[in-house]
Amino acid sequence: MSLIANWSYPTAIRFGAGRISEIADACKVAGISRPLLITDRGLASMEITTKTLDLLEVAGLGRAIFADVDPNPNEKNASAGVAAFKAGGHDGVVAFGGGSGLDLGKLVAFLSGQTRPLWDFEDVDDWWTRANVDAIAPIVAVPTTAGTGSEVGRASVITNSVTEEKKIIFHPKFLPSVVICDPELTIGMPHFFTAGTGLDAFAHCVEAFCSPHYHPMSQGMALEGMRLVKEYLPRAYADGNDIEARAHMMSAAIMGATAFQKGLGAIHALSHPIGAMYHTHHGTTNAICMPAVLQLNKPVIENVIEQAANYLNIQGGFDGFCDFVDDMNASMGIPKTLTDLGVQNPDIDRIVAGALSDPSTGGNPVELTAQNVRALLDKIV
């Protein structure tokens, strides 16, 4: 089976090994003639980044890069990015990297022509309608990990560095015009990031599948996304050069992010404040939270998870699925607790408050309360 394709759901996606060679044409299709490539500091000097800049330069599109992006990007990064965008006279963004580079890149394209402050566009009610749609710059997205799926998302997760809260900034035009998914860009990704990003995709699929909201299309996508992670994440983790496994994991990431239109839940409600306060890796934090959240939701999701287990060929129904999750985490060196992840003496009260105010709470099958969120934290601290 050929793992090269062009898709138009949820946006135009050029999928396949080697397709980063089409970056200049993707910019042309998006209407970008002076792109600013936005990525994180770790990727800025890597070969995959310099080669992408070479391709843009040879095509006459310049060689501009902004890489002042933190692992959990914040409003300071956004302000600096917008300043660089304006100073360079750019007319579009190539968002390049994992979740941090993609989220910050999309946000800079969005903010570059706005007059209102960043937090005026938080995903609350219809605040997104405050934006000047005509002033949003076009975006080409190029993921270099397989987890967040931000390349097909209509939002960015941005940390408020003052309040240490993760906020979701939403607008339909955050969705990139063109996405290039080239699994060659993920070859050799370290074990820690392969595991953490892959389990982030798995968490997206699990929470979307269990969400009580009605969205049959997302339900099917979440289920198949889980299967791809189950089959191919262990292979990608064991052999970083397994291009087939890397390709299927990029598909799983896209599927998880598309599926969670149906909703997320307590896993993300917990990992957002924990990540904002203690700068933990998002996908790894999700993986730590998942076993306890599954048990909390068991009275409501047991039958749903049994359906998933049947499809995934996991024996033992709900309990068998939970055993599978535990085994997968252990096989990839995922810590069992936040303490093992390096979080010392966490502020439980602040995490509880942050979780209850997070937008993800609305998609959890069991209503979240201060009492049951605290009980979850007791199990993972």
Q: What is the pLDDT of residues 49-59, one digit of tens each?
A: 999 999 999 99
Domain holding 110, by residue range, is 5-185
Closest by CA to 324, choosing from 350, 291, 296, is 291
Maximum CA extent, the chain: 59
Based on the fold, state whether residues 270 and 240 are members of the same structural domain: yes
Q: Report residue 219: phi and psi, to 5°.
A: -60, -45
CATH of the domain at 362: 1.20.1090.10
Q: Which amino acid is at 122?
A: E
Closest by CA to 242, choosing from 250, 256, 21, is 250
Based on the fold, state whether residues 179 and 225 are members of the same structural domain: no
Cα gap 104→99, rounded to integer Å: 8
Cα gap 170→351, rounded to integer Å: 23
Phi-psi region of 166 (alpha: psi -120 to 50; beta: other; left: phi over 0): beta
Based on the fold, state whether residues 114 and 154 are members of the same structural domain: yes
Kindly state the tokens that stand for 337: 């607790």
Number of domain units in the chain: 2
Kindly state the tokens that stand for 294: 């599954």
Based on the fold, state whether residues 172 and 199 are members of the same structural domain: no
Based on the fold, state whether residues 375 and 293 are members of the same structural domain: yes
Based on the fold, state whether residues 70 and 147 are members of the same structural domain: yes
Based on the fold, state whether residues 180 and 260 are members of the same structural domain: no
Q: What is the mean pLDDT of residues 52-79?
A: 97
Give me the DSSP letters along 319-373: HHHHHHHHHHHHHTT--SSHHHHT--S--HHHHHHHHHHSGGGGG-SSPP-HHHH
The separation between CA 261 and the C-alpha centre of its own chain, rounded to angstroms, equals: 13
Q: What is the mean pLDDT of residues 183-210?
A: 97
Q: What is the pLDDT of residues 253-276, one digit of tens each?
A: 999 999 999 999 999 999 999 999
- Among 185, 209, 241, give the residue marking a domain's end: 185
Can you tell me whether residue 122 is helix, strand or coil? Answer: strand
**What is the residue whose two structure tokens read 């063109």?**
178
Q: What is the pLDDT of residues 15-38, one digit of tens each?
A: 999 999 999 999 999 999 999 999
Asked if residues 157 and 192 have their Cβ atoms less than 8 Å apart, the reply is no
Kindly state the tokens that stand for 340: 């093992």
**What is the residue whose two structure tokens read 């770790």?**
42
Q: What is the mean pLDDT of residues 185-193?
A: 94
What local confidence, expressed as pLDDT, does residue 329 receive? 98
What local confidence, expressed as pLDDT, does residue 1 receive? 76
- Among 153, 185, 217, give the residue marking a domain's end: 185
Asked if residues 158 and 78 have their Cβ atoms less than 8 Å apart, the reply is yes
Cα gap 199→328, rounded to integer Å: 9
Asked if residues 190 and 276 have their Cβ atoms less than 8 Å apart, the reply is no
Based on the fold, state whether residues 143 and 263 are members of the same structural domain: no
Can you tell me whether residue 226 is helix, strand or coil? Answer: helix
Q: How confident is the model at residue 2 (pLDDT cuts 50, 70, 90)?
A: confident
Based on the fold, state whether residues 212 and 120 are members of the same structural domain: no
Q: What is the mean pLDDT of residues 178-202?
A: 96
- Among 124, 155, 185, give the residue marking a domain's end: 185
Chain mean pLDDT for the chain:
97
Based on the fold, state whether residues 172 and 208 are members of the same structural domain: no
**What is the residue whose two structure tokens read 């096989």?**
331
Q: In sequence order, which ranges of 125-281 are alpha helices (DSSP H)?
A: 191-210, 216-238, 243-259, 266-278
Q: What is the pLDDT of residues 281-317, one digit of tens each?
A: 999 999 999 999 999 999 999 999 999 999 999 999 9
Cα gap 149→287, rounded to integer Å: 16
Based on the fold, state whether residues 109 and 173 are members of the same structural domain: yes
What local confidence, expressed as pLDDT, does residue 189 receive? 92
What local confidence, expressed as pLDDT, does residue 377 receive? 97
Q: What is the mean pLDDT of residues 127-151?
A: 97
Based on the fold, state whether residues 153 and 215 are members of the same structural domain: no
**Residues paired with residue 181 on neighbouring β-strands, in sequence order:** 15
Cα gap 261→361, rounded to integer Å: 14
CATH of the domain at 91: 3.40.50.1970
From the number of C-beta atoms within 10 Å of its C-beta (0-12, 13-18, 19+), residue 346 rates as: middle
Q: Report residue 214: phi and psi, to 5°.
A: -90, 115
Tell me: pLDDT of 343 over 90.
yes
Q: Quick one: angle between helices 282-311 and 370-380, nearest 10? A: 100
Q: What is the pLDDT of residues 100-117, one digit of tens each?
A: 999 999 999 999 999 999
